[in-house]
Amino acid sequence: MKKIFLFFSLLISISNVAMSQININNDSLDKKPPAPKGRNMFGQGIPRGVTITSDSLADGYIMFAVPNSASIYLINRKGEVVHEWKGNFAADDPYLQSDGSLFQMAQDLDFPVFAAGGEAGRIQKISWDNKMLWDFEYANEKSHAHHDITVMPNGHILALAWEVSTAKEVLAAGRKPSLIPKAGLWSEKIVEIVPEGQRGGKIVWEWHLRDHLIQDYDSKKANYGRPADHVELLNFNVGDSLPAPISQDSMDILQAQGRVWRNETTENQGSDAYHFNAIKYNPELNQIAFSSYKLSEIYIIDHSTTTKEAAGHIGGRWGKGGDFLYRWGNPQNYHRGKSTNRKFFHQHDIKWIEKGKPGADHLLVYNNDIHNRDSMNYSAVHEFIPPTDAKGAYLIEKGKPFGPDKPVWTYNAPDSVSFWSSFISGAHRMSNGNTFITEGAKGRLFEVNKEGQIVWEYLIPYRGEIRKPNGDLFPAVPVTFSVFRSTFIPANHPAFANRKLVPLNPQPKVFVLPPPTVEKK
């Protein structure tokens, strides 16, 4: 249960940070308007269940991980639970397969070293009738699977993973000493895993961020050059500055209060420099898209390379090895833009719109925490089209950032600021052209049409009873109903063939937030 404790401590920590970000990048707090009634990022005290519905909804179901639970629920349009997958650890991010099984990320119980949020450490496959078909642990002192996976048509799994780079290695690679924690950095990699047996997995392809760096800080160190001349590489000295040092006594107090992440130390503050949080594979293009929360940018790389080619700058279909084919969201990262050119603010859930759906081949992203000088931070969903030539190569003009200049479609709340989840969350396009959105912090799942009208809305009313190692329940506030992501699944999905999806009887018990404890004087 130690892992689970860390996960929810993380969410609480993120919540506190997210709430504090309202005032970031503003010179005068008194310019902020008062918060509207709907400004409740975590959704306490508001009606839950189905709150909006309409005629002519697409026939289908919604799948989500139950907060603080090892269960995945499938609900109908009435909000009734019609199926439950149940694993053995806290679960998230499920991907339904044609046979009714699902792949999911799961919270490893005893992972070492890493402490950055979104930890999983396990990738599992669970059958429709809740048999554990595969339980692969990828959590050791050097590497750790986190946040997200994508399932390839051949059954292979592409997973995001942290990997340790020592302070000495990072310094030699050209990072500024002021940006290097004593524990070094947790860089990022992508691994392709072939499931083997019930617990095994063979890694058959790898991509490492550390192989694709540029820096203009120290000409005597590796990777030296001009970032603006090498948009295909990551400027090794962008990102957040290190947090203020903290004493061991203060860290001990925070750990006792459950306010820091498991494995967090005084020496690894800032080690999670990039915090990748989403990955998607496009089989037609044989490309991989992924998202960096810390850098507020998305990237696309070529998967047609060998592992050796992916470590270099030549090879593959596009002849660029593992270098970035495309990037978008924050051109300041490669010195081709100003703050006014920035598009993303800690975004999640980058994905291509699938073939056969309106906007096919465009990209869709949940932009979590948009900074507005004259208003409060808010969220939006963007659809955008990367510019390409006739052969499909991504285009960029000399001296300018990657396009486009703006999205082709955006969803905002009518008042902008009432739609806001500064962390987790996601969105995907439906076959009818509507967009299904997860406002993660609130546990709010809703569908909007092209005009931005909400045609269906559901707020998760469930919460599990995963407990701390000492047996105590995790505090239900503030992340009472928070969920990483949810998925609309059409009724004709092959997984539902010859299966009767009727409401469970009895239905799971809804969670009621207990009243605050009043201390006796």
What does the DSSP assignment read for 22-59? GGTT-S-GGGSPPPPTT--TT-TTS--EEEE--TTPPS
Burial of 355 (0-12, 13-18, 19+ CB in 10 A): exposed
Per-residue pLDDT of the chain (521 residues; tens, 9 = 90+): 434 433 444 443 444 433 333 333 333 334 556 677 658 899 999 999 999 999 999 999 999 999 999 999 999 999 999 999 999 999 999 999 999 999 999 998 889 999 988 999 999 999 999 999 999 999 999 999 999 999 999 999 999 999 999 999 999 999 999 999 999 999 999 999 999 999 999 999 999 999 999 999 999 999 999 999 999 999 999 999 999 999 999 999 988 887 888 899 999 999 999 999 999 999 999 999 999 999 999 999 999 999 999 999 999 999 999 999 999 999 999 999 999 999 999 999 999 999 999 999 999 999 999 987 778 999 999 999 999 999 999 999 999 999 999 999 999 999 989 999 999 999 999 999 999 999 999 999 999 999 999 999 999 999 999 887 677 787 899 999 999 999 999 999 999 999 999 999 999 999 999 887 665 55
Q: Quote the pLDDT of residue 117.
A: 86
DSSP secondary structure letter of residue 177: G
State residue 520's pLDDT score: 57
- Residue 257: the pLDDT is 80
DSSP label at 284? T
Please tell me whether the overall predicted TM-score, pTM, comes out greater than 0.75 for this model.
yes
| Separation between Cα atoms, residue 105 and residue 149, nearest integer Å | 8
Q: Write the pLDDT tens digit of every residue in 152-201.
A: 999 999 999 999 999 999 999 999 999 999 999 999 999 999 999 999 99
**CA-CA distance, 505 to 69, in Å (whole number)?**
20
What distance in Å separates the CA atoms of residue 341 and residue 346, rounded to the nearest whole number?
A: 15
Residues in CB range of 484: below 8 A, 6 or more apart:
65, 92, 93, 424, 425, 426, 438, 440
Residue 480 CA, chain-centre distance (Å), reads: 19
Say which DSSP state 397 is in. -
Contact assessment for residue 203 and residue 192, using Cβ atoms and an 8 Å cutoff: yes
Rounded to an integer, what distance in angstroms lies between the CA atom of residue 147 and that of residue 92? 9
Q: What is the DSSP string of 435-488?
A: EEEEEGGGTEEEEE-TT--EEEEEE-------B-TTSPBPP-SS-SS--S-EEE
CA dihedral 106, 426, 321, 282 (to 10 degrees): 90
Tell me the C-alpha distance between 505 and 157, whole Å. 35
- Rounded to whole angstroms, the Cα distance separating 462 from 43 reads 13
Q: Fold for 2-23+51-496, please state it.
A: Neuraminidase (2.120.10)
**Amino acid identity at 479:** V
Q: How far is CA 121 from the centre of its chain?
A: 15
- Report the alpha-carbon distance of residue 94 to residue 103 in Å, rounded: 6
* CA–CA distance, 423 with 368 (Å, rounded to integer): 6
Continuous H helices in 209-315? 248-256, 307-310
pLDDT per residue over 356-374, tens digit each? 999 999 999 999 999 877 7
What is the Cα–Cα distance from 325 to 342, expressed in whole angstroms?
A: 19
Q: Rounded CA gap, 459 and 120, in Å?
A: 25
Domain boundaries in the chain?
A: 2-23+51-496
